Structure 1
Amino acid sequence: MVLKMTLVVVLFSSILAAVAYGGNFNQDFDITWGDGRAMILNNGNLLTLSLDEASGSGFQSKNEYLFGKIDMQIKLVPGNSAGTVTAYYFSSKGSRWDEIDFEFLGNLSGDPYIVHTNVYTQGKGDREEQFYLWFDPTADFHTYSILWNPQRVVFYVDKIPIREFKNMESNGIHFPKDQSMKIHSSLWNADDWATRGGLVKTDWTKAPFTASYRNFNASEACIWASGNSSCGPLGSSSPKSRPKNWLNENLDSTDQKRLKWVQKNYRIYNYCSDKKRFPQGLPQECANTT
């Protein structure tokens, strides 16, 4: 009980202590679809995506990245958002692509949002974990981060780790480390599966649905261009500007406690526990997870 209360205090302290930072959406991103439903506002400091019955909308980063830590503050669709999905993810190109996903599944008013996460390697996904959030993600902006280095991928919410996917290439499991990725986000209708497995459909009388973005931060990420990294070669003793978390072998003890707290109290689905889905045996990497 003492540990749980301490972690609650830490959670709220982290939110209150969030640093104001941000890139410029005009400089960092391109609107890719939506026919005017995506807008960059406030001199590039705010971006909004909208969805109505005709179309959703989306954007992607101008740069490609290979490793680093990247933050985005998002305020999700308020009210009855059932059937909608707000996706925020990294993805490479091609038929054997890598991808790191946050997807926020809309809800009926008063029900919690579900945060759906996935990791694709060489075109293979099926590594879903889902969580409830411990706050209302529609009332204000919250920070969603991905730490991606050669050892691990870590998903964070307000600086709290919720999921870790480790490099297990030594066991023959692919890890996303060879393909640069762009950052993407989209707001779209997925009422065939998003809310209660598709039982709850989108209420178009509530449209347009809108999600908002601000304070993109890629200051600790490595831009990949023309076969070169802005951080210099991996293993270099004097890289140009290596993000401080690149070579962390493990999450520190505080983050490990936070991770366990979230997974114990808020994780609602873990593919590594779904024996019905994998009757021939759980995926190989599940033998190395708890």
Structure 2
Amino acid sequence: MAIRCLLLLLSPLLASAAGVSGGGEEEEAVLAMAARLPRPPAVSFLDGYTQLFGDSNLALHGDGKRVRISLDERTGAGFASQDAYLHGFFSASIKLPADYAAGVVVAFYMSNGDVYEKTHDELDFEFLGNIKGREWRVQTNVYGNGSTSVGREERYGLWFDPTEDFHRYAILWSHDRIVFYIDETPIREVQRTKSMGVQFPSKPMSLYATIWDGSSWATSGGRYKVNYKYAPFVAEFSELMLHGCAVDTLTRAPMCTPDIASIHNAVAMSGKQRSAMERFRTKYMTYGYCYDRLRYPTPPSECNVGPEAELFLPTGEARSMERRGRGRRHRRGPADSAF
């Protein structure tokens, strides 16, 4: 069952890696590559994850297949994967806290800060709560080799209500690129360039999920704080997926075959997927570090800044409030599908 579920999720990725496009040939190529895949980690929390903090603010449901973490006046909560991974595909379906959530931060991310304190890598989804009636925002970050002074943040207004139902968030991390997805739509791609050097994440990372009090900065720069009369703030995670190249905890050596690593390295984004990503960014991107001329008078070397820079203020914020996508609903079509 686990192999079948993995195959259904990864089949377009595997087909793209195999370079096939025909129906029967594509299926054969996918089956051939899937036959070489190891059994993915079990969905059960106890088999794949460990609690970091929060004692009773972390609760398991559905035989350990769903995890709820909450924030109250006493503490937040968090968990992490038991293994660290070198490249792979990592995802979760997440339902965010409802009602007033200003100052609340829910994070789904990869990091190795526990091992490489001064030279850590990190790939983030950060969900930033808001006052009642205002949308949650999502921020993506990329850090490599401790380069936190060169923050590569982007923020987007969500085009759906993430508190009403589960939505899927995923990170594809290969040797030469990183792609963030929301509900199968690619929203950001970071391609490795020579100029980035060691600032491209390249060391094994673990997967984390946390909820915590970000009152000092998360909502309107700290203007709105966490209001604990609305506590507990509960985030729920399900369908946690770990499909990567695990490393030995002592030697940090990869424990996967070259075939498994090559799948993630070979995956290419289709033209339709790239168009879907560009449409998303045009509509919903509210901040881009490449356009922050106050922070970076000379954009970082990997930024390819063109005429679209006129859509952003010198602060990197989008000029038009309509770009927040307030009141809109995203209709996903075949062109948006990534998996």
Would you call these one fold, judging by a TM-score over 0.5? yes
Seen in structure 2, the aligned counterparts of structure 1 residues 282 and 51 have a Cα distance that, compared at 3 Å, is same
Structure 1 residue corresponding to 2:78, chosen from 14, 39, 58: 58
- Aligned: 1:165 with 2:190: yes
Alpha-carbon distance between aligned partners in 2 of 1:215 and 1:141, rounded to the nearest angstrom: 10
Alpha-carbon distance in 2 for matches of 1:59, 1:78: 21
Q: CA deviation at 1:276?
A: 1.3
- Count of residues in Structure 1 that have an aligned counterpart in Structure 2: 260
Higher strand share: 1
Please name the residue that 1:180 is paired with.
204
Residue segments in structure 2 that go unaligned for 5+ positions in a row: 1-40, 309-339
Q: Letter of the aligned partner of 1:116 in structure 2?
A: Q
State the distance in 1 between where 2:99 and 2:263 align: 39
Q: Contact conserved, 1:68 with 1:149, CA < 8 A, in 2?
A: yes
Q: By how many angstroms is 1:22 displaced?
A: 6.9
SS in 2 for 1:282: coil
Q: Which residue number in structure 1 is paired with residue 300 of structure 2?
A: 283
Q: Pick from 145, 148, 168 the counterpart of residue 170 of structure 2.
A: 145
Q: Which amino acid aligns with 1:189?
A: D
Q: Which residue of 2 aligns with 1:246?
A: 265
Moved more, 100-109 or 164-173: 164-173
Query: Following the alignment from structure 1 to structure 2, what is the Cα–Cα distance between the partners of residues 227 and 199?
Result: 43
Residue in structure 1 matched with residue 142 of structure 2 by the alignment:
119
* Alignment check: 8 A CA contact 2:110 2:122 kept: yes
2:226 matched to which residue of 1? Answer: 202
TM-score (norm 2): 0.73
1:207-226 matches, cutoff 5 A: 207-218=231-242, 220-225=243-248, 226=251
Deviation string for 1:10-59 (max 9, x for gaps)?
A: xxxxxxxxxxx971111111111012111122211110111011211111
Write the distance in 2 (CA, Å) between the matches of 1:72 and 1:254: 24
User: 2:195, 2:131 → 1: CA distance?
Assistant: 44
Q: Map 1:20-59 onto structure 2 (within 5 A).
A: 23-59=43-79
1:169 alignment partner, SS class: coil
Classify 1:243/1:71 alpha carbon distance in 2 versus 1 (closer, same or farther; 3 Å): farther
Partner of 2:278: 260
**Mind listing any 5+ residue stretches in structure 1 that lack a counterpart?**
1-20, 234-238
Alpha-carbon deviation of 1:232? 1.8
Alpha-carbon distance in 2 for matches of 1:50, 1:163: 28
Deviations 1:173-211 (A, max 9, x none): 62112x100011110001111011111111110001100
The match for 1:135 among 120, 141, 160 is 160
* Counterpart for residue 10 of structure 2: none
Runs in 1 of length 4+ with deviation above 6 angstroms?
A: none
Query: In the TM superposition, what is the alpha-carbon distance from 1:124 to its structure 2 partner?
Result: 1.1
Amino acid at match of 1:147: L
CA 1:245–1:208: 2 relative to 1, 3 Å: same
Residues in 1 aligned to 2:210 and 2:64: alpha-carbon distance in whole angstroms: 18
Aligned 8 A contact 2:187 2:280 in 1: yes
Q: For residues 210-254 of structure 1, what are the alpha-carbon distances to aligned partners after superposition, in whole Å with 9 as ceiling and x for unaligned?
A: 000001112x32211244334324xxxxx2x35744313x41111
RMSD of aligned alpha carbons: 1.9
1:45-124 pair list within 5 angstroms: 45-92=65-112, 93-94=115-116, 95-124=118-147
Q: Report the CA distance between 1:170 and its aligned residue.
A: 5.3
Judge conservation of contact 1:38–1:48 (CA < 8 Å) in 2: yes
Letter of the structure 1 residue corresponding to residue 161 of structure 2: D
Over 3 Å counting, the alpha-carbon distance change for 1:45 and 1:172 in structure 2 is: closer
Match of 1:63, as an amino acid? D
1:283 partner letter: P
Query: Could you tell me whether the CA contact under 8 Å between 2:293 and 2:299 is conserved in 1?
Result: yes
Larger helix percent: 2
Q: How far, CA to CA, are the matches of 1:137 and 1:158 in structure 2?
A: 11
**Would you say the 8 A contact 2:100–2:131 is kept in 1?**
yes
Q: Is the 8 A contact 2:92 2:170 kept in 1?
A: yes
Q: How many angstroms does 1:158 deviate by?
A: 0.8
Which of 217, 227, 235 is residue 193 of structure 1 equivalent to?
Answer: 217
1:171 is displaced (CA, Å) by: 5.7
Q: Which residue of 1 aligns with 2:292?
A: 274
